[in-house]
């Protein structure tokens, strides 16, 4: 302590670090020295304000700031890979992939159901007019070119000895299409009808079976003669005012496709969806 002022000893007095004798001398000096007394009161007021509930520092808030600053410091030194690991794995790509997979499975399932062949009555009408309006008409040359007939089946015009006359694709009331065409075989005029679908097993079980090698053809009638069979996803019916043998020989000249596979059925179903979207 200097002769005039307490100097730095005022801090020791404030912190109770002086002996009893020195503290008594310092307090006596404060009563005589206005400058030291003002400094003492200011320091004591500041100390009390710092520890008061109204002006004191919220230590919890301070700790949060310290923690936040510490986390920012740590994060600044992390690699991107470690930062991603700390945040956790981003599952959005996996969720998106799963969602798209489920949508694809649902579309394929719906297409499979839509592409399933409908049941066809073996008594498919032999009257062309009853099949609905014509949407495509083919002359003999178009029937022979191998393109205009599309996926419909027919005997080989070159080797079978059958002669095409005319054909038309007609659209029924339910939107199904039927190919109706006439041909000449062994001098007999034959009417052929084809439609996509499947012969209903319960409707052909009681019908007589025609004598066609390698083919499950059924006799629908004998006056006029009429037979029907399944060729892949197409049901074919032949009719003429002739002997049943003529139709049996002609049926043997048609190509015999296997039952459509699951992929074929799905593609057919997708075609149904496409037609529905385009209005065809």
Helix, strand or coil for residue 214?
coil
* Two structure tokens written together for 32: 């005589």
For residue 180, the model assigns a pLDDT of 92
As assigned by CATH, the class of the 119-259 domain is alpha beta
Q: Are strands 198-199 and 119-120 parallel, antiparallel or unpaired?
A: parallel
Greatest pairwise CA separation for the chain in angstroms: 149
For residue 44, the model assigns a pLDDT of 83
For residue 102, the model assigns a pLDDT of 72
H or E element that contains 109: helix 92-114
Reference 227, options 190, 257, 177, 274; nearest CA is 190
For residue 88, the model assigns a pLDDT of 57
How far is it, in rounded angstroms, from Cα 167 to Cα 142?
A: 9
* Two structure tokens written together for 120: 């066809």
**Phi, psi torsion values for 33, nearest 5 degrees:** -110, 115
For residue 274, the model assigns a pLDDT of 65
* Two structure tokens written together for 233: 């996803």
Any idea which residue has 């949508």 for tokens?
Answer: 103
Q: What is the pTM of this model?
A: 0.52
Angle between helix 92-114 and helix 262-278 axes, rounded to 10 deg: 90
For residue 91, the model assigns a pLDDT of 73
For residue 152, the model assigns a pLDDT of 92
Residue ranges of the chain with pLDDT lower than 70? 1-3, 51-90, 105, 107-132, 173-174, 257-280
Helix, strand or coil for residue 210?
coil
With beta carbons less than 8 A apart as the criterion, state whether 13 and 39 touch: no
Domain boundaries, the chain: 9-51, 90-117+262-280, 119-259
For residue 228, the model assigns a pLDDT of 92
Spacing of C-alpha 3 from chain mean position: 94
How far is it, in rounded angstroms, from Cα 83 to Cα 72?
A: 12
With beta carbons less than 8 A apart as the criterion, state whether 160 and 253 touch: yes
Spacing of C-alpha 76 from chain mean position: 42
Angle between helix 20-32 and helix 34-51 axes, rounded to 10 deg: 120
Spacing of C-alpha 7 from chain mean position: 84
For residue 66, the model assigns a pLDDT of 47
């Amino acid at each position: 302590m200097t002769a005039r002022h307490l100097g730095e000893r005022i801090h020791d007095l404030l912190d109770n670090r002086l002996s009893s004798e020195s503290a008594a001398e310092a307090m006596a000096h404060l009563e005589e020295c206005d400058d030291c007394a003002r400094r003492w009161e200011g320091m004591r007021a500041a100390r009390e304000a710092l520890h008061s509930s109204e002006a004191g520092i919220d230590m919890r808030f301070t700790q949060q700031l310290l923690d936040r600053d510490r986390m920012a410091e740590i994060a600044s030194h992390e690699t991107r890979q470690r930062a991603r690991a700390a945040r956790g794995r981003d599952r959005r790509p996996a969720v998106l992939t799963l969602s798209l997979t489920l949508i694809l499975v649902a579309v394929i399932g719906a297409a499979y159901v839509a592409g399933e062949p409908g049941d066809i009555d073996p008594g498919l009408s032999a009257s062309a007019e009853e099949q609905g309006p014509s949407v495509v008409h083919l002359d003999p040359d178009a029937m022979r070119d191998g393109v205009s007939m599309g996926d419909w089946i027919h005997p080989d015009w070159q080797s079978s000895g059958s002669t095409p006359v005319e054909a038309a694709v007609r659209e029924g009331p339910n939107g199904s299409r039927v190919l109706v065409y006439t041909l000449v075989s062994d001098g007999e005029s034959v009417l052929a009808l084809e439609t996509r679908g499947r012969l209903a097993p319960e409707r052909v079980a009681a019908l007589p079976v025609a004598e066609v090698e390698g083919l499950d053809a059924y006799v629908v009638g004998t006056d006029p003669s009429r037979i029907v069979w399944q060729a892949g996803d197409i049901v074919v019916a032949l009719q003429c005012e002739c002997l049943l043998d003529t139709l049996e020989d002609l049926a043997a000249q048609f190509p015999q496709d296997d039952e459509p596979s699951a992929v074929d059925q799905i593609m057919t179903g997708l075609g149904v969806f496409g037609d529905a979207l385009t209005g065809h």
